Amino acid sequence: MTNYRMNRLFLTIGVLLLTLIFLVIVLGPFYWVLLNSFRYTKDILDRKVQLLPTYIIFDNWVDLFKETKFTTYLKNSLIITGLTLLFSLGLSIIAAYGFFRFEFPGKTILQRMLLVVYLFPSVILLIPLYKMVAIFKLIDTPWSLVLVYVAFCAPFSVWLLGSFFQGIPKEVDEAAVMEGASRLQVLYKIFVPLTAPGLVSVATFTIVFAWSEYMFAVVFLNQETAMTLPIGVALFMSVVRQEWGLVGAGATGVVLPVMVLFGIVGQRFIRNMTEGILK
């Protein structure tokens, strides 16, 4: 019994140490960026590492809103993320309902083709997508990113929602149709409430992707007034301008909303993702 308790004790200590190391690796960079947002640049560049703040200043945060176009970047990110969420969620719900509740010729092939977009690295699709966006004169507009983001988020969302739709007995929608409900009413009055956990997971995935995406945004948006937060914060650094404190404040402003969102729904998101895969 003693050996058993000792083994359990060592196992617990080992798990705690691994968890601590994991938290340091994951949260360490964010803590350092947050700390730098309240420090002077000269102290940030000092070789002497200070893990705890010796002072706190708010100059970087004041300059972030007064001296930069951070509010413009924030507005653009909110618009693009909101539109992406709206269209991706709407299309995913309808597509998942059609794919996983009806039988039609070529259904299996179309379902598999949904995931073709994930077979190629994003950088390979950059040039053809840029040409398409340029042809439709959408460069420097929110729609250039909204269309691309929906194309990347919707296929995965359809598959995730499909697993939840399949878990609902077909007798449910058949009974609703017999009562006189249309297919659209069945979808939005029955399926949407019943698959709310899956919708939360899809919404979280879409928001995180659209909010933090950089590669397509930096290519499609050239005018500063059209830029999103990730690009705008990158402009704080240049050959003649190296304001690390301002960068820290800007980066914190980009990451903090996502961390808060994931902190609220993160556990449910992971649980729903696992349930969706197991189904």
CATH of residue 149: 1.10.3720.10
What is the rounded distance in angstroms from the CA atom of residue 76 to the CA atom of residue 225?
8
Contact 39, 57 (CB under 8 A): yes
pLDDT band at 2 (very low <50, low <70, confident <90, very high): low
One domain for residues 12 and 43:
yes
Query: Can you give the pLDDT at residue 213?
Result: 93
pTM for the predicted model, two decimal places? 0.83
User: In this predicted model, what pLDDT tens digit does every residue of 153-205 receive, in sequence order?
Assistant: 988 888 888 878 877 777 777 787 787 777 788 888 888 888 888 888 888 88
One domain for residues 155 and 20:
no
One domain for residues 110 and 35:
no
**Which residue do the tokens 């719900």 mark?**
93
One domain for residues 255 and 186:
yes
What is the rounded distance in angstroms from the CA atom of residue 139 to the CA atom of residue 133?
6
Report the range of poorest mean pLDDT among 122-126, 128-132, 176-180: 176-180
What is the rounded distance in angstroms from the CA atom of residue 129 to the CA atom of residue 261?
30
Residue type, 273: M
One domain for residues 20 and 93:
no
Query: Can you give the pLDDT at residue 260?
Result: 79
**Top-confidence range, 27-41, 130-144, 197-211, 254-268:** 130-144
Portion of the chain with pLDDT greater than 70, in percent: 92
Report the range of poorest mean pLDDT among 65-69, 75-79, 135-139, 264-268: 264-268
One domain for residues 87 and 142:
yes
Q: Tell me how far apart the terminal alpha carbons of the chain are, to the nearest angstrom.
A: 41
Nearest of 26, 149, 33 to residue 84 by alpha carbon: 149
Average pLDDT, the chain: 83
One domain for residues 55 and 72:
no
Q: What's the structural domain count of the chain?
A: 2
One domain for residues 266 and 196:
yes
278, pLDDT greater than 60: no
Q: For residue 114, what are its two tokens? A: 């949904």
User: In this predicted model, what pLDDT tens digit does every residue of 66-113 receive, in sequence order?
Assistant: 888 999 999 999 999 999 999 999 999 888 888 887 777 877 787 777
User: Could you give the maximum distance between any two Cα atoms of the chain, in Å?
Assistant: 74
Which of residues 36, 59, 82 is at a domain's end?
59
One domain for residues 236 and 265:
yes
One domain for residues 147 and 252:
yes
One domain for residues 6 and 137:
no
One domain for residues 107 and 227:
yes
The domain containing residue 140 runs over which residues?
Answer: 68-278
